[in-house]
A and B are shown apart, each in its own frame.
Chain A
């Protein structure tokens, strides 16, 4: 009997503001504990929240990028629960009248191809602080630097059908939000967090099964893992005749397991009510129009344009578009004169590899890469030599590609005298292979070409070497 998995995702993304949602404190990551705090985000008696307009602007932009309907009037609400890292005893969020609803995000499912997830709502709220349980023996420490950091919560319908799809959805979401410049979506820094509602049902059934909520998935790598564990757990329970209990499951990356949250940690009745300290949030219509007009080209459209406009394979377009910075870099390289196909190959190869090693830094300018690609095209340097030039430019930060190639002695030599000298050297050094070749083993030709490239340290023009070899070896 086979099962269908049904997943809905609630994603919290940090809006990339410099100051917090309801006060002027910095949102900088990694400051010493409890230094980015003030009476407002500490929840001191008498302090009041005021709304960060830029956070709202970013949330509106995110809503538009996810094709949501933005409501010009929305209401802040208090979500009440007790926890030591929640200084006011409530979180300012939105509940009955959220900022935006009814959006959609298209993404590619590994199983089903092009699909889309319904965005039920996108609302703004503040983050809580952080409880640290392993710093002080027998005590918990509280860091309130995160308290009040602005978040957008993005909730999907029960539209995702597998743990793999969940991952694909999240990557697509991250892509869109990065493109819209709303969030840096860095899971390791906590600027993107995911909770998932998971249920299973027998294939063909239309009613949803009882769901559980999986929390504490704090890395992209864990999304599939945690959801697969929970799905398998539910199937095992049902197949052995049990029933699923509606509860919260915590994913533990260390033990690679999901376990039920202790019931005491749960607080089901949040007693939401409209936040009396803040008037209704009104988004001016003009503001909305301006944001709509300023919305950048989104990944789906860009992929399409890369494939048709530059004539590169759809697969390559997908790789290039994954990051807005990389896609921009590719376009600048082409604009600087490089042909699209080699430019795509260079960006997906050397550029991305170098960036990965250097924390995303793009160390060679697109203009220099374009000139390097030209040098390969006109035969001035070989492809392997060009990679050495690229590495040298990246490491030293300076230099025109041609000058670097000259300094490294990598300009290809097409001079007959020099070429003949290297050919003679190789033939003299490999009598056995020469004998075999002469007896008809012509498939050894690439071996000789390789040897010539080796003794010439890559300088020999690879287009001329085979001809010379053939002349010399006969046949």
Chain B
């Protein structure tokens, strides 16, 4: 249990990162009133920061966007209600790429977030603020959200644990939608245990979300002694020839450790992996173009006015309220859903998505329990490096996006550093087998020194 003052001072200590969007005095005041309500439960007194695209009654929910600047939700996400019920404190909202669209937290209307180990670098994204605050030691855990790797990629860049649960494990009610068929709330944690405890608290059935599975909250497994009996697949498509050599070295060290721990390691293939990024960049923008249609200046949010009629109101509100990356994806999404293009893009992408999911089933059906891969192709890159080249930015998600397309759970944990920058290793599991994924993660966390140079 951390004290309010200690939490406030740790958050203040990380202020230079621009990771927290909520003003510190507001956080302190809210923590005081949250603590007054009494906190008991499995997360009693644990301060948790929350990505700005998850609705909270405390604080504004602006999704890192001008178009929702100052927006206060009249309801809170199911995940937030459950965190509070478990005794956690909601310690502010974190910076992110606008509407979770981006891989560097540079696409926030409220300025970029710095990497905690090198301010010239990005923390990854879109949940960059959440990952950075955990990495900086300000909080033990944070909520983020994933559509194509937005928790695992920044967690990997920042050197913390990141979990994306199975699609349907955690209610999306109150998570502001980006790509609804891909979106899932995820968790960043200082340790596997911190992340798992938060995930356990927020998981389970919710009548408010029809896509949330009718299952009990998941139970955290006991950390096993070793990995005897585990069959771990190494998908060769995730180790391309141009993989960053440091990332490769770190992964090879993990593979050796897996063997040392008694796991059977197997070379496997997921042949449709190369199509994951193009598939994702059709489906996610298509859904986004529809999900973001509601931000029209009619009912809430700022109105960029002077509009003579409703069409002009839409144009000025959406033109000025959305940043360039969001506008780009809305345009792409609108295009791929248009009459005459739907079959060529959206329908084909859906078919490819089914093949990508089938790749995973094929491997898991043949006795492979888990997959191990690098979490990202490179360590954290420099701010501005990829801003003018959207495709190279999109490729930062190349190893994470497949889990979202297939709806399976994934976890990243620190597996070493190269030139001082953290490298993440990823575990992928069949749907709803988070417990096996966590068993392996607990064991690896103990066996692999996460902050050693490799």
Question: Chain A residues in contact with chain B, CB under 8 A?
Answer: 39, 42-51, 78, 80, 82, 84, 87-90, 140, 142, 264, 268-269, 271-273, 276-279
Contacts and interface: CB of A to CB of B under 8 A. Distances in A.
Interface stretch (B7-15, B73-81, B443-451): B73-81
B352 to A, nearest CB: 16
Given A87-B299, A273-B342, A45 B173 contact: no
Q: Interface SS of chain B: helix, strand, loop or mixed?
A: loop
Interface string B299-343: 110000000001100100000000000000000001001110010
Interface stretch (B263-271, B290-298, B385-393): B290-298
30 contacts: A39-B74, A43-B299, A46-B54, A46-B77, A48-B172, A50-B207, A50-B208, A50-B209, A80-B337, A84-B296, A84-B298, A84-B310, A87-B298, A87-B299, A88-B293, A89-B296, A90-B290, A142-B299, A264-B311, A268-B339, A269-B338, A269-B339, A271-B342, A272-B337, A273-B286, A276-B179, A276-B180, A276-B211, A277-B211, A279-B210
Contacts of B294: 43, 45, 87-89
B74 A48 contact: no
B370 interface: no
Given A80-B337, A277-B210, A46 B177 contact: yes
A420 B230 CA distance: 116
Contacts, number: 102
A396 B210 CA distance: 54
A426 B176 CA distance: 90
B349 to A, nearest CB: 11
B15 to A, nearest CB: 27
Contacts of B173: 46-48
A276 B181 contact: yes
Contacts of B207: 50
Contacts of A39: 73-75
Contacts of B296: 82, 84, 89
Nearest to B209: A48
A89 B298 CA distance: 11
Nearest to B293: A89
A278 B74 contact: no
Contacts of A279: 210-211
B174 A46 contact: yes
B192 interface: no
A119 B303 CA distance: 44
Nearest to A51: B210
Given A45-B61, A46-B176, A273-B337, 14 more contacts: A43-B294, A45-B68, A45-B177, A46-B61, A46-B174, A47-B173, A49-B210, A50-B208, A89-B293, A264-B311, A268-B339, A273-B286, A278-B210, A279-B211
Nearest to A273: B337
A78 B337 CA distance: 11
B346 interface: yes
Contacts of A82: 293, 296, 314
B210 A50 contact: yes
A272 B61 CA distance: 29
B175 interface: yes
A34 to B, nearest CB: 10
Interface residues of B, number: 44
B198 interface: no
A236 to B, nearest CB: 32
A29 B304 CA distance: 34
Contacts of B63: 45
Contacts of A49: 210
A42 B299 CA distance: 9
A2 to B, nearest CB: 37
Nearest to B297: A84
A45 B176 contact: yes
Interface in B165-190: 172-177, 179-181
8 nearest interchain CB pairs?
A89-B293, A276-B180, A276-B181, A271-B337, A46-B174, A46-B55, A45-B176, A43-B294
Which interface residue of A46, A50, A268 has the most chain B CB atoms within 10 A? A46
A132 to B, nearest CB: 14
Interface in B22-58: 54-55
B71 interface: yes
Contact of A277 (B61, B180, B299, B311): B180
A50 B45 CA distance: 34
B215 to A, nearest CB: 15
B97 interface: no
B210 A48 contact: yes
B262 to A, nearest CB: 40
B78 to A, nearest CB: 10
B287 interface: yes
A136 B374 CA distance: 60
Contacts of A271: 289-290, 334, 337-339, 342
A44 B74 contact: yes
A45 B298 contact: no
A80 B290 contact: yes
Contacts of A48: 172-173, 208-211
Nearest to B181: A276
Which interface residue of A44, A48, A49 has the most chain B CB atoms within 10 A? A48
Contacts of B292: 89
Contacts of A46: 54-55, 61, 73, 75, 77, 173-177
Contacts of B73: 39, 44-46
A272 B209 CA distance: 22
